[in-house]
Amino acid sequence: MEKALPPIPAKRYFTIGEVGDLCGVKPHVLRYWEQEFTQLRPMKRRGNRRYYQHHEVLMIRRIRDLLYDQGFTISGARNKMQEILQAERDKKRNGEVLLEGVDVIELADADLDDTQDEPDDEGDDDVSGRLLLVRRELFEIRDLLSLSH
């Protein structure tokens, strides 16, 4: 029976011990996987301490799934990871948004502005304006995320 992995906290960097706990593997396995999967390159600081970012934790979970749950060999998992990463690069090149597990809905400005036509009270204009600001910020974050990969 497969044990569910804990949610990944909203942090910028994770130590090797934290990643081991989040991904259900021992630190020595993570160090070994770094040698086998060239895509996995945690940042190293003082004393060669490893610091993993969120996307690397997701990658480790994907590697773990391929090896432990789907039964791939190291070589097969390495090839599959290359295929997956190439497919993601192709999607980015084609302008598709990559948000794993999230449906992206494109909204026109008119979709958010329908309360401005006939405001019931003064608060409606304020709410609509704040929604537009949040929408712009979300698009900026999406654009930044697509550049970081």
pTM score of the predicted model:
0.61
- Listed by start position, the domains of the chain span 1-94, 97-149
Top-level class of domain 1-94: mainly alpha
Residue 118: is its pLDDT beyond 70? no
Buried b / exposed e along 42-73 (16+ C-beta atoms within 10 A)? beeeeeeebbbbeebbebbbbbbebbeeeebe
CB 52, CB 46: distance < 8 Å? no
Q: Residue type at 114?
A: D
CB 12, CB 6: distance < 8 Å? no
Length of the chain counted residue by residue: 149
pLDDT, tens digit (0-9, with 9 covering 90-100), for 6-56: 999 989 999 999 999 999 999 999 999 999 999 999 999 989 899 999 999
- Looking at residue 139, what is its pLDDT? 75
User: Bigger pLDDT: 106 or 31?
Assistant: 31
CA dist 6 and 24 (Å) reads 9
Q: What residues contact residue 8 under an 8 Å CB cut-off, 6+ apart?
A: 22, 54, 57, 58
Residue 115: is its pLDDT beyond 70? no
